[in-house]
Chain A
Amino acid sequence: MLRHVLQRVLMAVPVLLGVLLIGFLLMQVVPTDPATVRAGPTATAEVVAQIRADMGLDQPLYMQFGLYMWRLLHGDLGVSIINNVPVTQELGATIGPTLELMFASLFWSIPIGIALGTVAAYWRGSLLDRFVTALSVAGGSVPVFFLGLMLIWFVGFQWQWLPFTGRGGPLWSLEGWQSLALPALTLGGTFIAPVARMTRTAVLEVLGAEHVRTARAKGLGEFAVVLHHALRNALIPVVTLIGLQIGFLLGGAVVTETVFSWPGVGRLAVGAILSSDFPMAQGTILILSLGFIVVNLLVDILYVALDPRMRGA
């Protein structure tokens, strides 16, 4: 097990380096010169040259990459061009809300998706199964922003039940919960369809397996058969597939944050790109990629932890 974990971590290293390199090159190809921007519009050529030397921008590219890595290791991602705030400070403030939104969405959508998928698989071919299947095909075709706008229009505006802009407060406050509700419903709502579909397929496969027949033959109740013997085994592929869908969730999160003005990394990234704030854009893309690599790694390890048969592989 330990060996497997180490192996996976080692395999993530080249990807990580690639991401860092791309992040670095991203700053090289952008059309603005950071030294000129830092110096301001009234600076003389000597001042700009001085700042360029201070920032290490007169060094060869590989030296600059070394410097960039060194700064990165010290938590220095540069300063926003727009408001002069350190990028790491902004990232620190936005990661929390993004994680909050993603976890809250998963928290309610995964159980519902798994329940729908299991029910559909158990009563395969029934009206209920067809309903769930139709729902998951239709649900998988709804744009995230459509769902968000509809919730804003009905729940937020027409019925005035819940707030729909910004984050009302920390998670332990009532305002925090209320403001999280609609974004989490939106993001989670788009996640039910894929989870239900994957669960249905996985449970169908397990229901036909011999150990399920054995469980039935020894007189176990249907509930115990489905819950302990079928669903439990089906969860292994489902967990992995859910892990692989985290990228899909991330895409949804960026849109959801924008729709609800939720102060997360995704909204920060989009805002930075649209306002040509290159250091901030680079920082947000870097942190999202790193987060993604870590999640992939965790899913990989979790998969092996859940399924001992995979350990030899």
Chain B
Amino acid sequence: MADIGASAAAVVAPVPASMPKRPGMLRRLVREPVAAIALAIVVLLVLVALLAPWLAPTGPFDNDLSVALSVPGTEGLMLGADGQGRNMITRLLYGLRATLMMGVASVLLGGVVGALVGFAAAFYRRIDGLLMRLMDMLLSFPAILFGLAIAAILGPGISTIILALSVATVPLMARIVRGSAMVVMRQDYIEAARATGMSDARLILRHLAPNCLSPLFVFATLRFGQVILLGSALSFLGLGAQAPMAELGAMASEGRDFLFFAPHIAVIPCLLIFTIVLAFNLLGDALRDALDPRLRV
């Protein structure tokens, strides 16, 4: 699903490099109440996921069949228990951890490769055409197809999903980075740096990359939400995390069997996925507005 990420990212124009760095980006960001709340939720979720092993009341696989399907509010089980009698709070904490890790790994892997391709295309004009045609080809297939194909070859698993989502992220990131790098490349200071005999690697790292960072960050934030949505859908289909591992999409899928008499098992993980994606989408939109107010529509 190149799609929504692409259209959202397409409006992120590169900030002209000549523009001085405006101080207090974070301060301007949190002045918007929606953005502040989204940022707070993101920070909270990340902290909770990191601290999952210490916060969880039980071990991730501990079960007690006598409390299976307990509804939220049961004595000692604030959010109830799942079909195997595992504490929902524990499962959610570990599930959140797995889901966020899947998202971070996909955006990081796909983003870094994509950014390298984008910089290479903008810097070495001779391979630009070839690289970008290759990216167009990748872009012409939705992430779900990568997910299905890679799962068919490697078998289901969380690494399958990370690989599929990374592949789907590469062309999007490459386009965005190439677009903003091309603008920066036209600046005089690049010419000046080149005239001093600086090496290509140094030129890219010291002068080109730092001036392309803001669209890159906006895209990564918005993409993170998309990746979580896609990844949890693939997990829901059974192509991702395998039992007994806790992952939010897989938990929703397990809860499907108990939907009619214990809906909380499916609904709570779904709500958590929705919260993550919404928070990242709002944060991404706010970041874009803060970094480049001209784009606000």
Contacts and interface: CB of A to CB of B under 8 A. Distances in A.
A141 B225 contact: yes
Contacts of B155: 276
B274 A149 contact: no
Contact of A285 (B140, B148, B263): B148
B252 interface: yes
Contact of A250 (B140, B144, B237, B256): B144
B19 interface: no
A138 B282 CA distance: 9
Interface stretch (B60-68, B69-77, B82-90, B226-234): B226-234
Given A144-B233, A244-B6, A149 B148 contact: no
Interface string B230-251: 1011001111000000000100
Contacts of A296: 140
B259 A248 contact: no
A141 to B, nearest CB: 4
Interface string B130-155: 00000001001111110011011101
A248 B225 contact: no
B260 interface: yes
A244 B143 CA distance: 13
B230 A292 contact: no
B148 A273 contact: yes
A132 interface: no
A201 interface: yes
Interface in A174-230: 194, 197-198, 201, 204
Nearest to A190: B229
B281 interface: yes
A272 B155 CA distance: 11
B7 A251 contact: no
Interface stretch (A22-30, A43-51, A55-63): A22-30
Contacts of A259: 256
Contacts of A153: 259-260, 263
Interface in B251-296: 252-253, 256, 259-260, 263, 266-267, 270-271, 273-274, 277-278, 281-282, 285
Contacts of A258: 236-237
Interface in B162-221: none
Interface in A265-288: 269-270, 272-274, 276, 278, 281-282, 284-285, 288
A145 B233 contact: yes
A272 to B, nearest CB: 8
A288 B274 CA distance: 28
A140 B143 contact: no
B172 to A, nearest CB: 12
- Interface majority SS (helix, strand, loop, mixed), chain B: helix
A285 to B, nearest CB: 5
Contact of B148 (A144, A288, A293): A288
B26 interface: no
A204 B233 CA distance: 33
Contacts of B152: 26, 30, 272-273, 278, 281-282, 285
B118 interface: no
Contacts of B2: 244, 247
B69 to A, nearest CB: 16
B274 A142 contact: yes
B274 A143 contact: yes
Given A198-B7, A251-B144, 12 more contacts: A137-B282, A137-B285, A143-B233, A144-B233, A145-B252, A149-B259, A153-B260, A245-B4, A247-B1, A274-B239, A278-B152, A285-B152
25 contacts: A18-B137, A140-B281, A141-B274, A143-B229, A145-B249, A145-B270, A146-B267, A149-B252, A149-B270, A152-B259, A153-B259, A153-B263, A198-B7, A247-B3, A247-B141, A251-B142, A251-B143, A254-B237, A255-B237, A258-B236, A269-B148, A270-B239, A273-B152, A278-B152, A296-B140
Chain A to chain B: the 5 pairs with minimum beta-carbon distance, closest first: A247-B142, A251-B144, A146-B270, A141-B277, A141-B278
